[in-house]
Amino acid sequence: MSRKWLGITSALTLILGLAGMVVHMLPSPTAPPVPDKFGYINRLGEFVIPPQFDLALDFSEGVAAVYRNSRAGYIDRHGEWVITPQFEAAGEFSGGLAPVGVHGRIGYIAQDGRFAVRPQFATGGPFASGLAPVSTDGKYGFIDNTGWFRIKPQFTHAGPFRDGLAPVAEDGVYGYIREDGEWAIEPRFDSAEVFTDGLALAAKDGLWGYIDRDGDWVIEPRYAAAGIFSAGLSPVATPDGYGYIAKSGEFAIPPQFDEADPFFEGRARVRVDGLYGYIDNSGEFVIPPKFRHAQRFSEGLARVQLPSEDYLAAAQLAQ
């Protein structure tokens, strides 16, 4: 359950040209929820943007990418279109730019919908510290906000910078580089994630543990699945289910969930009996399990999908 960085890819076909920045109103928040569509809830679990999208991403920098009819555009926190659906794929804004796909290539747009970096990459990740990981011709490097390579394509995988370090792979072996492209931690891991709360999730011999900025193990690899640390807690998998450990490696929330994600904005997504809800850092549900799909809270909102009757029936049979 590691939270691997994935660049967006142009998997969808058919594309429209860049449309005008016309703002369209979406259905009223009082409209009845639609099963199997995505909408957004607040921290109380109330819908503030009703389910209506085929797919939805987290809010970032005041907007969220959503899909309709195989096209992606962006809405604001009121559910109004600010960039109409026109892209094959779209990612979240960071550093004022967002990766989008057109004609099978990835470029970056500003919030006015205009391209700041022309489409030219196979994948594109988020900007952090003024740099974004992208791939071309099967190799990953890092560009600045003009599209210029500051770290040339040379890696077999790359994640975004966090706290001055980025996880990268050389011939499938992971280490960490600094913003100048030099190695901070030489490659020696099977997989690796960004640093959060001073620790990074890394894998060795099929198990996950946590390292410090020197690359030393703080929590030895022992988990078949794990997540990043956030607010001092991290989800890990055990034979008894998912629970949350502190940086000491001791359990702060005992294993009890079928699936669990890191904490964001005081809430963590967990799954019980086929449905997702949200817990606080004591392990208590603050939003009960009732969603078919759900994601983290970001800027006070979380994207969720209600289950259909068929899904609920299948989940009950599986119990």
Q: What is the pLDDT of residues 208-263, one digit of tens each?
A: 999 999 999 999 999 999 999 999 999 999 999 999 999 999 999 999 999 999 99
Asked if residue 70 has pLDDT above 60, the reply is: yes
Asked if residue 317 has pLDDT above 60, the reply is: no
d(Cα 276, Cα 7) in Å, to the nearest integer?
A: 25
Asked if residue 97 has pLDDT above 90, the reply is: yes
Per-residue pLDDT, 314: 55
d(Cα 112, Cα 44) in Å, to the nearest integer?
A: 31
- In sequence order, the 6+-apart residues with CB closer than 8 A to the CB of 307 are 35, 36, 275, 290, 291, 292, 315
User: What is the strand order of the sheet 251-257 is part of?
Assistant: 234-238, 241-245, 251-257
Count Cβ atoms within 10 A of the Cβ of residue 13 and give its class: 0-12 exposed, 13-18 middle, 19 or more buried.
exposed
Per-residue pLDDT, 308: 78
Q: What is the pLDDT of residues 114-138, one digit of tens each?
A: 999 999 999 999 999 999 999 999 9
Identify any residues that bridge with 126 across adjacent strands, giving them in sequence order: none
Q: What is the rounded average pLDDT of the residues 307-312?
A: 68
| Band (14; pLDDT cuts 50, 70, 90) | very low
Token pair in block for residue 21: 């920045």
d(Cα 88, Cα 105) in Å, to the nearest integer?
A: 9
Given a contact cutoff of 8 angstroms between Cβ atoms, the answer to whether 152 and 168 are in contact is no
Asked if residue 24 has pLDDT above 50, the reply is: no
Per-residue pLDDT, 148: 98
Of 236, 301, 238, 241, the residue nearest 265 (C-alpha)? 301
Per-residue pLDDT, 31: 41
Of 50, 51, 52, 133, the residue nearest 91 (C-alpha)? 133
d(Cα 96, Cα 116) in Å, to the nearest integer?
A: 10
User: What whole-number percentage of the chain has pLDDT above 70?
Assistant: 86
Asked if residue 22 has pLDDT above 60, the reply is: no
Q: For residues 287 and 312, which has the higher predicted lDDT (pLDDT)?
A: 287
- DSSP 8-state secondary structure symbol assigned to residue 27: P
Q: What is the rounded average pLDDT of the residues 171-178?
A: 97
Query: Where do the structural domains in the chain lie, given as residue ranges?
Result: 230-319
Alpha carbons within 13 angstroms on the beta-carbon side of residue 185 total 25
Helix, strand, coil fractions of the chain, as percent rounded to 5: 5, 55, 40
Asked if residue 23 has pLDDT above 90, the reply is: no
